[in-house]
A and B are shown apart, each in its own frame.
Chain A
Amino acid sequence: MTNLLTKTLTELSKGLNNKEFSSNEIFLTYENSINKSKNLNAYITLTLDIAKNQALESDKRREQGQAKSNLDGIPLGIKDIYLTKGIKTTNASHFLSNFIPPYESSITNKLINEDGMVVLGKLNMDEFAMGSTNTTSYFKPVISPWKGKDNQDYIPGGSSGGSAAAVAGYIAPAALGTDTGGSIRQPAAFTGIVGMKPTYGLCSRYGIIAFASSLDQAGPMTRTVEDNALLLTHMAFYDNKDSTQIKNQSKDYTKELNKSIKGLKIGIPKEYYSDKLDKEILKTWQKTQDILKSLGAEIIEISLPHTEYALPVYYIISPSEASSNLARYDGIRYGNRSNGETLEDVYKKSRKDGWQEEVKRRIMIGTYNLMEENYHNFIKAAKVRNLIAKDFINAYKIVDIILTPTTPTEATKLNEMPTDPIAVYYSDIFTVPANLAGIPALSMPISISQNNLPLSIQLMGNYFTESLMYNVANLIEKEIGLNFISDHAKSLIV
């Protein structure tokens, strides 16, 4: 049954439709590989009993010709930030380590209840999605399925590191992530998979635990571009429970994957030639430009003049929103409560015991920026955010897609993580601008480094041009012809 493990989401969908195998067989394959993969620490909560039943139910539906969708019976891993009714949802935090949501997120409700997908479990992440390393999880770090030439433990990136490790490690055929400043794209880049942060407002945020509401977006993480387009097609639907969700923008993203891109204009922003850019990443970026040229696209140098301000702007805005969103965690109605003499003691001790250092730092920084005497910082950042967005809007008057690296370097060794928070933040230098502007952005692997780790690029599109981005990405993927199979996945396949 190992051949099922290597099948893409699209192949699983076709195979189920053609009755080549059953949902239960797919489930058993993944159950087996999950049991051999505890070392990755990708899952916080496994729901294999539920999954087994869902798979059997799906097979019954398909036997009766009543498949709910073309994803019916296919397993899925879910980042532990999506609320799942009756299934523990921890946000990778001690604070919520016993929290059982009384309701379901709109996206998981759609994929599981309406489309019939099978839920394998809840995936590890950085605590409250704050981090780009997956080392801030209360449930211990996720280990990358890539071992490097030196056979060491590497970080999978974050915050959706469990999702990335699960997909790249072949313990889920696809997974859900969320991206506030790069949390889908950066781990996708580090683990050699495809990750999409759609346009702000394309996917419903209802039932996804809020971090920074004006930046958060849900998105798919998959092994191929086609799979990504397929999953997003099922994730983007109108939901009146999220007032920032845009009506009538969803479509079938698998329809235009093979269109010619002759004459398409690809922008290369000169500001992204950062001094922090690794030489091998630079080469990867240039290689992708060559591929696009060979496909008939036109490469045009552009300028996004406010790029250097994006990271500090992000670290003013996102903690400010987080400090407000996280004020609700007081240990009273839900979440772990610590003992205290007075009500205020209970708050203070619950918030001390509930979170680790990074979350506390961000709440404090956000609170600092929202204090009356510093509020001008927040307003200034919101003004610069406008300038950053206008840079993109102006660029899309000239080009169709912007091509950049996803990260300045390859993944870091787990034991070589920088201790200075600002140094860690710089791994998101190329990903945060898309969140600030709200544009869609996708990461995909292009080559393998000398150290045997994946190297990736990012495509950034204009608002709601996900179809075009998948088209370009799919053609690039076909040209590369490389299979990005992680060391861990290889060990499962043999």
Chain B
Amino acid sequence: MINKTKEDLLNELSSITQIEIDSDIKSKMATSIDNMINWFSILDKLDTEGIEPIFNPLELFQSTLINLREDKIAEGNMQDLILKNTQHKEDVFITVPKVIE
């Protein structure tokens, strides 16, 4: 990695993840992330040339394809229930700050 300071990295991650970080925990957060990244380098001593990556345990024991259900709507029509979870609504719409001038 090109020599980013841990503070720069935190700012970059804050921007990508859309999480604002309070200034009072910034230095602690930057240090703990930096420590974790250094900790991950334990893996560098292991040669994994030719090893296949696995992303889910099913790859290890599931010989048949995963069971996908038919692409049919099984439930729905719960507009009221869903709208109950936001305070920001007009009629049946969820409102957000204006995005187009």
A-B complex is real: yes
Show the binding face of A for B, using Cβ within 8 Å: 98-100, 102-103, 200-201, 213-214, 240-241, 243-247, 306, 308-309, 312-313, 315-316, 323, 330, 332-335, 337, 340-349, 351-352, 355, 357, 360-361, 363-365, 367-369, 371, 373-374, 377, 379-387, 389, 393, 420-422, 436-439, 463
List the interface of chain B (C-beta within 8 A of A): 1, 9-10, 13-14, 16-22, 25, 29, 32-33, 35-37, 39-40, 42-43, 46, 48, 51-58, 60-62, 66-69, 75, 78, 81-82, 84-88, 94, 96-97, 99
Name the B residues within 8 Å of A439 (CB-CB).
57
Given known A-B contacts A103-B75, A373-B1, A343 and B97 have beta carbons under 8 A apart = yes
A436 to B68, CA, bound (A): 23
Please, how many angstroms separate the alpha-carbon atoms of A340 and B99 in the complex?
Answer: 12
Q: A368-B33, A385-B54, A438-B57 are in contact. Are A312 and B40 (CB under 8 A)?
A: yes
Measured between beta carbons, the chain B residues less than 8 angstroms from A360 are 17, 19, 21, 29
Interface of B is mostly: loop
CB pair B22–A352 under 8 Å, yes or no, is: yes
**Distance from A366 Cβ to chain B, minimum over Cβ atoms (Å):** 9
Residues of chain A contacted by B88 (CB below 8 angstroms): 332, 337
In the complex, what residues of A have CB within 8 A of residue B21's CB? Answer: 352, 360
Contact among A316, A335, A351 for B40, CB-based, below 8 A: A316
**Please, which residues of chain B bring their CB within 8 A of the CB of A243?**
66-69
Residue in A closest to B37 when the chains form the complex, CB atoms: A368
CB distance from A194 to the nearest CB of B (A): 23
Interface pairs (29), CB distance under 8 Å: A102-B84, A214-B56, A214-B57, A243-B66, A243-B67, A244-B66, A308-B42, A316-B40, A332-B86, A342-B97, A343-B97, A348-B20, A351-B19, A352-B21, A357-B29, A360-B29, A364-B10, A364-B13, A364-B17, A364-B19, A365-B33, A367-B16, A380-B43, A380-B48, A382-B53, A384-B43, A386-B52, A438-B60, A438-B61
A437 and B82 contacting across the interface, CB-CB below 8 Å: no
**Given contact pairs A201-B58, A334-B85, A361-B33, A384 touches B46 in the complex (Cβ within 8 A):** yes
Contacts of B87 in A (CB 8 A): 337
Q: Is the CB of A102 within 8 A of B57?
A: no
